[in-house]
């Protein structure tokens, strides 16, 4: 069973729409959670991270974390064609004892049409 | 802006041959990582290092070796390349371990034939 699951696998929205991306994880003792953006042929780039339950807003991005339901979501307001990319959820999860490691989801492919 | 550069950006290798992927960072970060990205698997950690002259195994180290001769440089070595190692490889650096942002390079596309 995948430890970090993202949905949907892909999403097509018109320019200006609100985008919602979901990520579920299996470890209630997880630490920080990141969202990375990856454009075609490029390396992932960190967008936003969250540690505490609740929400965090940075510009057009808002992330919501609910540890009780093991769920985090990323919302992009007023989406632009330049937002078209793969979005990766990465969760810091226990890997034995007091050690933690970063586990990535498979990603959501977002396409924003002009 | 953090900088991680990888070379080569693209390579075709023959089965059984030796492949070396190189990574250089100018971020002054202690941690460096090698990830593999495949369709359907996402990013998986191969090896990482938190100090020069020392490397650690990640989640999928079999068939790969790593070398960290200096803080700035981290190499991934495939002694006997196999078809299953066809993938895109990413190097990343971070100022600390888990809990810190990763800064990725542009990737190295490896095709083994």
Express each pLDDT in A49-107 by its tens digit. Answer: 999 899 999 999 999 999 999 999 999 999 999 999 999 999 998 776 667 788 999 99
Q: Which residues of B touch A (CB under 8 A)?
A: 4, 40-45, 59, 90, 92, 97-99, 101-107
User: Which of A36, A93, A95, A102 has the most B C-beta neighbours within 10 Å, making it the best mutation to test the interface with B?
Assistant: A102
Burial per residue of B38-52, b for 16 or more beta-carbon CB atoms within 10 angstroms, e otherwise: eeeebbbbbbbbbee
Residue B61 and residue B68: Cα distance in Å, rounded? Answer: 15
**Among the listed residues A34, A56, A53, the one whose alpha carbon sits nearest the alpha carbon of residue A45:** A34
What's the token pair of residue B42? 């996402």
Q: Are strands A10-14 and A108-113 parallel, antiparallel or unpaired?
A: parallel
CA B102 from centre of chain = 13
Size of interface A-B (CB pairs under 8 A): 49
pLDDT in tens, B40-70: 788 999 999 999 999 999 999 999 999 999 9
Does A101 contact B at CB distance below 8 Å?
Answer: yes
Question: Would an 8 Å CB–CB cutoff place A57 in contact with chain B?
Answer: no
> CA A27, A28, A33, A37 torsion: positive or negative?
positive
Q: Which residues pair with A72 in a beta bridge?
A: A23, A65
- Per-residue tokens: B68: 């960290």
């Amino acid at each position: 069973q995948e430890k970090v699951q993202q949905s949907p696998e892909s999403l097509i929205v018109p320019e200006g729409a609100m985008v919602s991306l979901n990520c579920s994880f299996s470890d209630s003792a997880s630490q920080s959670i990141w969202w990375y953006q990856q454009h075609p042929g490029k390396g992932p780039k960190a967008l936003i991270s969250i540690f505490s339950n609740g929400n965090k807003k940075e510009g057009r991005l808002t992330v919501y974390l609910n540890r009780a339901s093991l769920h985090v979501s990323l919302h992009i307001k007023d989406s632009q064609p330049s937002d078209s990319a793969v979005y990766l959820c990465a969760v810091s999860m226990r890997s034995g004892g007091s050690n933690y490691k970063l586990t990535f989801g498979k990603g959501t492919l977002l396409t924003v049409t002009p | 802006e953090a900088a991680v550069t990888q070379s080569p950006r693209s390579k075709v290798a023959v089965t059984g041959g030796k492949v070396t992927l190189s990574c250089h960072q100018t971020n002054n970060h202690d941690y460096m990582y090698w990830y593999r990205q495949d369709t359907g698997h996402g990013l998986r950690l191969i090896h990482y290092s938190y100090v020069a002259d020392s490397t650690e195994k990640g989640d999928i180290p079999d068939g790969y070796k790593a070398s960290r001769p200096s803080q700035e440089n981290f190499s991934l070595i495939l002694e006997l390349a196999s078809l299953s190692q066809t993938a895109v490889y990413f190097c990343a650096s971070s100022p600390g371990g888990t809990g810190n942002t990763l800064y990725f390079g542009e990737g190295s596309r490896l095709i083994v034939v």
